[in-house]
A and B are shown apart, each in its own frame.
Chain A
């Protein structure tokens, strides 16, 4: 009875959010029981959960909701305390609005995996992932946070491992599991340290400043960087994403890695629960390296999902750069800079969630319909799957920050914050950093465009390179609807910046000086879009006119005397990326080897082989030797400890007993 009384005190917003939790729990439980169910029960209930979450966010308005889940839900030292303030709501909204299209998309995709996985298990993991992400962004104490963080890690691991008949997937899922273990380990160590300083588990009671903050900050940041996929902890990301089913990649890359961004914002920026002196410079440096690293490795990839995964590394880097500028502003007491950097970072978080899940869903449709992930084997897909092609192109334009789409909107605010830093920075070094960041972001933007021109043109244009690509067809209506929904969101969020600045200004006001970002959006997007559209229309009409004057003539392409041309002679992704890759060749020892075979190989080659190679130094020189050493060492240790002798095990127990008596009893 008291349980219900306590729930009554939670207002309407809290009720809707808890409803979402309950619905997802229902999906989780029924998914585990009814693992072969393929009907519309799971997606319907999951989407209802997302809608309930949106209702909760809308009902809460501008107020902050506190939910204390009553006993018996208790975690020993702290309860499940939820605080839903504007920052939490922002991330809850991201979860809900990417969760809906991904859920809509999933049944069609799972049909393609029907003989290899149990759909019920995937839905169970998926709903638990949604629930735990919401828990993470709502928790107001460290213990509840860690519990949800772990639920998130484990449910996403089970999703990555769902198609586990393939060796590659098993390897990927274990690498991912290892990465989450390391991340959580660092995070827990950091939280324990913070707890030992402050004596409290509640984030709001933490106020660690000065030299004491350095240790916990570094541990927490390493833990979060591992989850976010920030350089140099990004290795799991390009391995786990291609292995996971497409909806899972979409939710993981679009939303899950952003929980780390949330945590950085919550602990270090909006609440200043931990004041780390060098936070700004650390975030800027690692963000810039991540962004650059991600995009140059993305250029080399032919696996569409791996390419997108490297772009997640890039975009996380961009977001971290924004947060770094914000932290620099806070450290130097420039509130406008703090708020602009924060707004840019959070806005880009939303936008990246939208266009990255769109792109992953596009890759998912291609995978489901052609069983291809290698773009070198695609080609001409635009004729067979026009909706997917259009949506994927829109997503690509958004990720390349082309106006008027949403990627442009957030990067524009980010550029503005860099300008602000370059103009108003307190020291010459910070001003120079602002200039440097502008240069980095411009370089990254250019490389991203190159990368997506490659991906879109090789995958969708030209002629099909393989039979699989020739047999492609459009995805189910639901899959198309999900993609179109996200593509429309890309446009809406790009054009509706003034509206979106309202919730963002509520968040930036949490930094303590009242919101100042009300009028940072200086571009009249609507008018510009109309001008752009009329210009495009004018060019189109003009070209039509030209073509009427000079009608198209068809010729046979000269094939240099080699006989019929096959679709394989089209421009490939490798050859497209080669000029740019060779510029940065020293970073990954890029090499192109061409060998020709045949008797008269100079003039009449029978076969020509071209192969590019690259080496990721971080993997081969740092992680691999380290992991090998660990494996060897733990192997020796295991041989000694697990010798298989019962007496030895009994001695361990006796030693444990004596130690316990020594610790607990003998004072």
Chain B
């Protein structure tokens, strides 16, 4: 199979997501998240070049916004929050990180097999569609298997990236305004979630979601 440049970057992003599943260190996870999002910024640029100058400027602006807000801003904020709460590791809940790693590979495989169902062939880059679906699954797996509330945010961002990737590579007609709005929405969501987690940490002295069952009573 001939991978286009965009497909290659998408696959690389999916690979970073798989790696995140195998990592317990919170700060490293955020670095990988930043890397993953930076790859999307690259995809944005490539899309701009492939549109033959038609929407070039808009794509470049989008790429810059993604790079600044999502690839730098959000991970830095999360790193700051994790530092403030002095969290170092998330060892996982039901499945240990190595098991999660294998599940994430499964998700990549599932995404690959779902390419015919999801890809918009006229848009080119069919592999990106599969990788987007794989990111969706990996984000879910990440959220379900991690123990700390801040990892739920990370998982959410992986899912968000998957949807962003799908929109970017498959639906050519997506207005840039919408893409920008989504980026800022994600920022706001993460800010709110981060602040809530900080507050939870202050009140309960932990952010372990498995312990939050007690809140029901």
Interface positions of A (Cβ within 8 A of B): 642-647, 650-651, 653-654, 657, 661, 665-667
Contact = CB atoms under 8 A, between A and B. Distances in A.
A485 B5 CA distance: 84
Interface in B129-174: 133, 136, 140-141, 143-144, 152
A569 to B, nearest CB: 57
B132 to A, nearest CB: 12
B105 interface: no
B216 interface: yes
A651 B152 CA distance: 13
B212 A646 contact: yes
A654 B144 contact: yes
Contacts of B141: 654
Contact of A644 (B118, B140, B152, B212): B212
21 contacts: A642-B216, A643-B213, A643-B216, A644-B213, A644-B215, A644-B216, A645-B209, A646-B152, A646-B212, A647-B94, A647-B144, A647-B209, A650-B140, A650-B144, A650-B152, A653-B140, A661-B114, A661-B133, A665-B117, A665-B118, A666-B114
A654 B212 contact: no
Given A644-B213, A644-B215, A657-B136, A650 B143 contact: yes
Contacts of A653: 140
Contacts of A642: 216
Q: Identify which of A644, A650, A661, A667 gathers the most chain B CB atoms within 10 Å of its CB.
A: A650
A651 B144 CA distance: 6
B209 A646 contact: yes
B166 to A, nearest CB: 12
B118 A647 contact: no
Given A665-B114, A666-B114, A647 B140 contact: no
B96 interface: no
Q: Identify which of B143, B210, B212 gathers the most chain A CB atoms within 10 Å of its CB.
A: B143
Given A647-B209, A651-B144, 18 more contacts: A642-B216, A643-B216, A644-B212, A644-B213, A645-B212, A645-B213, A646-B152, A646-B209, A647-B144, A650-B140, A650-B144, A654-B141, A657-B136, A665-B114, A665-B117, A665-B118, A666-B117, A667-B117
B51 interface: no
Nearest to A645: B213
B93 interface: yes
Contacts of A661: 114, 133
A653 B159 CA distance: 12
A99 B152 CA distance: 56
A644 B210 CA distance: 9
A666 to B, nearest CB: 6
B210 A654 contact: no
Contacts, number: 38
Interface of B: 93-94, 114, 117-118, 133, 136, 140-141, 143-144, 152, 209-210, 212-213, 215-216
B130 to A, nearest CB: 12
Given A653-B140, A654-B140, A657-B136, A647 B212 contact: no
A661 B117 CA distance: 10
Contacts of B215: 644
Contacts of B114: 661, 665-666
Contact of B140 (A645, A657, A665, A666): A657
Nearest to B143: A650
A207 B215 CA distance: 56
Contacts of A650: 140, 143-144, 152
Contacts of B209: 645-647
Given A653-B140, A657-B136, A647 B210 contact: yes
A653 B136 CA distance: 12
A642 B216 CA distance: 9
Contacts of A645: 209-210, 212-213
Contacts of B140: 650, 653-654, 657
Nearest to B147: A647
Contacts of A644: 212-213, 215-216
Kindly list the 6 A-B residue pairs having the minimum CB-CB distance in the complex, ordered from nearest. Answer: A644-B216, A654-B140, A646-B209, A644-B213, A665-B117, A650-B144
A120 B141 CA distance: 51
A500 to B, nearest CB: 62
Contacts of A657: 136, 140
A654 B210 CA distance: 18
Contacts of B213: 643-645
Nearest to B117: A665
A645 B210 CA distance: 7
Contacts of B152: 646, 650
A667 to B, nearest CB: 7
A651 B216 CA distance: 18
A513 to B, nearest CB: 58
B84 to A, nearest CB: 22
B12 to A, nearest CB: 24
A661 to B, nearest CB: 8
A661 B93 CA distance: 26
Nearest to B146: A647
B121 to A, nearest CB: 15
Contacts of A654: 140-141, 144
Contacts of A665: 114, 117-118
B117 A647 contact: no
A661 B133 CA distance: 10
B85 to A, nearest CB: 18
A68 to B, nearest CB: 34
Q: Identify which of A653, A661, A667 gathers the most chain B CB atoms within 10 Å of its CB.
A: A661
B80 to A, nearest CB: 23
Nearest to A646: B209
A642 B210 CA distance: 14
Nearest to A655: B140
Nearest to A644: B216
Nearest to B113: A666
A665 B215 CA distance: 38
A100 B215 CA distance: 53
B113 to A, nearest CB: 10
A647 B93 contact: yes
Contacts of A651: 144
A585 to B, nearest CB: 50
Contacts of B212: 644-646
A10 B118 CA distance: 48
A111 B106 CA distance: 69
B151 to A, nearest CB: 11
Nearest to B140: A654
A661 B140 CA distance: 14
A638 to B, nearest CB: 11
Contacts of B216: 642-644
A661 B141 CA distance: 16
B111 to A, nearest CB: 11
A568 to B, nearest CB: 52
A450 to B, nearest CB: 56
Contacts of B133: 661
A661 B212 CA distance: 31
A657 B216 CA distance: 26
Nearest to B213: A644
Contacts of A667: 117
A209 to B, nearest CB: 43
Nearest to B139: A654
A54 B212 CA distance: 61
Contacts of B210: 645, 647
